[in-house]
Amino acid sequence: MAVEIAQDINWLAGLGGGALIGAAATLLFWLNGRIAGISGILAGTLAVPATAGGERLWRMLFIAGLIAGGAAYMLLASAPLAAANDTPSVTMTMAGLLVGLGTRIGNGCTSGHGVCGIARGSLRSLAATVTFIATGMLTVFVLRQVTG
């Protein structure tokens, strides 16, 4: 019974998380005139000249908020999120580098295109998001069905 209730409530966590992401993206746009694309925010944190302290500060605070949100969840849930894979570190590192390369080539990441771009009615963002999803689906299919 308790497991059924927990599974019935799980969708609320996703809904709440999505609402918070949307609210954060909206507030960043309204208050700072910026798009909440995480890859761009991180790249800007690393690339912005030291003289642009205010520009670097909001980026660092945004990233710190992402980390603090995950830490707060772990504290409130009394357990870390379960790691659902046993993929070797080298494979995960290569995958991360390829995702980073893809965000540079695609001029944005899933958060920038998928959350903010589609909300603004950008056809380019819609095409990028469809490409992200289709590529992810194809990758999962190949890894699970073709390579075992």
**Tens of pLDDT, residue by residue, the chain (148 residues):** 444 555 566 778 788 888 988 898 889 889 888 888 888 888 888 875 654 667 888 888 989 998 998 888 888 877 666 666 777 888 888 888 888 787 777 777 777 888 888 888 889 989 988 988 898 899 889 988 887 6
Amino acid 8: pLDDT: 61
pLDDT, residue 85, reads 73
Residues 6+ apart with CB under 8 A from 21: 111, 115
Residues whose CB falls within 8 Å of the CB of residue 125, separated by 6 or more in sequence, listed in order? 108, 112, 113, 114, 116, 117, 118
Length of the chain measured in residues:
148
pLDDT of res. 64: 94
pLDDT at res. 9: 66
Choose among 17, 15, 35: nearest CA to 125.
35
Contact in structure between 104 and 126 (CB atoms under 8 Å): no
Instruction: Compute the C-alpha angle 71/88/76, nearest 5°.
Output: 15
Q: Is the distance from CB of 120 to CB of 129 less than 8 angstroms?
A: no
Q: Tell me what pLDDT residue 80 has.
A: 67
pLDDT at 4: 55
